[in-house]
Structure 1
Amino acid sequence: MAGNSGMQGITAMQMRQLFSAAFLALACAASLPALAANGHSYDFGKPAKAEQASRTVEVVMGEMYFEPKSLEVKAGETVRFVLKNEGSLLHEFNLGRAAMHAEHQKEMQHMQDMGMLTPTGMQHDMSKMDHSKMGQGTAGMDHGQMMKHDDPNSVLVEPGKTAELTWTFGKATTLEFACNVPGHYQAGMVGDLTVKP
């Protein structure tokens, strides 16, 4: 028993909660995209600073649409996207391939289920989140640190707000720009982005 003295005060319920929290942390870590030494890495380009942009493209976000619906850029070009949300709901501008959007939609659904996403914004007040979805809020874990919306190829824009994303495009390829807020992509909030040689 001497070896278990630190475990005597833990009930079976607390142990299940600890295991649930540990499992959830591992599952979240496994679902994250591969990270480079200094952050996310994408084969279609990388984030850039606005002053590096050779051109600015304005994209309007409305109720389940983007305007324009398609864009063309050149490989090696740095584009500053100015994103204006003229709708009444929270929207996202995310650069990627269809499979990447499908994976990101799962993360966004989880964020909505936890109460981190509301129809019109992000919930930054941890007390208003549903901690029961994250292993009963155990062991003093900072769930906000576990699940964030901070991918460099993506930005959330609240209703009536404007945001920016600047990107240097890599090789020629076909991408999508999409809103992955639950249900928005399926409602048609996706556009085609062609990276020409």
Structure 2
Amino acid sequence: MKFISPRALSALAFALISGAALASGNHPGGHGHDSDAIGKPGVAGKATRTVQIDMTDAMRFTPSSVDVKQGETVRFVVKNSGQVKHEMVLGTEKELKEHYEVMKKNPEMEHADPNMVTVSPGKTGEIVWQFTKAGKIDFACLQPGHYDAGMKGAVNVAGKAGAAKVDGHADHKH
């Protein structure tokens, strides 16, 4: 009888969960990753500015709120000033909560997606992201215990002037 190591089992579980999430897509009632809701991976050469984010063992991001414009590509330079591993993950609040539950059950799980960066103590990482839709995009550290301790923030994406609103009405002043 063959045994699977805990690390291999975690990788398999993550692959299955990721595959199921991708397969569910964006159809009504689906619980998949709706990347359109948060934007898309950016091209480093097209980044219009760099935003420095500091992560600490006080379970906080500094700054915890960032303002960007719709269509803007931002390079986040994420520094871990703490003594434990931290990460910054962009997503909807629902996606972050679902991912956090998986992380609590599999704390050693390693993953690398364009909307996130995991940073060892004293190190720096980066995310380059293009914000394609107006609204609020959340970010959080999904290391076990960190999200519950309040290690989260938001990117506020201002819509383009004159752009149509979600409800279909033009952005006019009456």
TM-score over 0.5 for the pair: yes
Match for 2:46 among 52, 57, 65?
52
Q: 1:61 aligns with which of 27, 34, 55?
A: 55
Please state whether the residue corresponding to 2:82 is helix, strand or coil: coil
Looking at structure 1, the residues matched to 113 and 75 of structure 2 have their Cα atoms a distance apart, in angstroms, of: 16
CA distance in 2, matches of 1:178, 1:42: 16
The count of aligned residue pairs is: 144
**CA separation of 1:111/1:76 partners in 2, compared to 1, >3 Å: closer, same or farther?**
same
Q: Distance in 2 between matches of 1:42 and 1:89?
A: 29
CA distance in 1, matches of 2:157, 2:72: 9
Q: Does 1:109 align with 2:104?
A: yes
Q: Which runs of 5+ in 1 are unaligned?
A: 1-13, 118-147
Amino acid at match of 2:53: V
With normalisation by structure 2, the TM-score equals 0.72
Task: Tell me the residue number matched to 2:75.
Answer: 80
Q: Give how far 1:49 is off.
A: 2.6
Q: Of the candidates 112, 115, 121, which is equivalent to residue 150 of structure 1?
A: 112
Residue 71 (str. 1) matches residue 66 (str. 2): yes
Runs (4+) off by over 4 Å: 24-28
Higher normalized contact order (CA 8 Å, seq sep 6+, divided by chain length)? 1
Alpha-carbon separation, structure 2, partners of 1:26 and 1:102: 17
1:171 aligns with 2:133: yes
Point out where structure 2 has 5 or more consecutive residues left out of the alignment.
Answer: 26-32, 160-174
Question: Which structure is larger by alpha-carbon Rg, 1 or 2?
Answer: 1
Asked if 1:42 is matched to 2:20, the reply is: no
* CA 106–31 in structure 1, closer or farther in 2 if over 3 Å, else same: farther
- Structure 1 length as normaliser, TM-score? 0.65
* Superposition deviation, residue 109 in structure 1: 2.0
Other structure's SS at 1:182 match: coil
- Larger fraction in helix: 1
Residue from 137, 143, 147 that aligns with 1:181: 143
Deviation track 1:76-130 (CA, whole Å, cap 9, x = no partner) reads 1000000010011100101011111111112322331xxx35xxxxxxxxxxxxx
Q: Secondary structure at the match of 1:174?
A: strand
On the 8 A contact 1:34/1:41 being kept in 2, the answer is: no
In 2, Cα distance between the equivalents of 1:27 and 1:47? 21
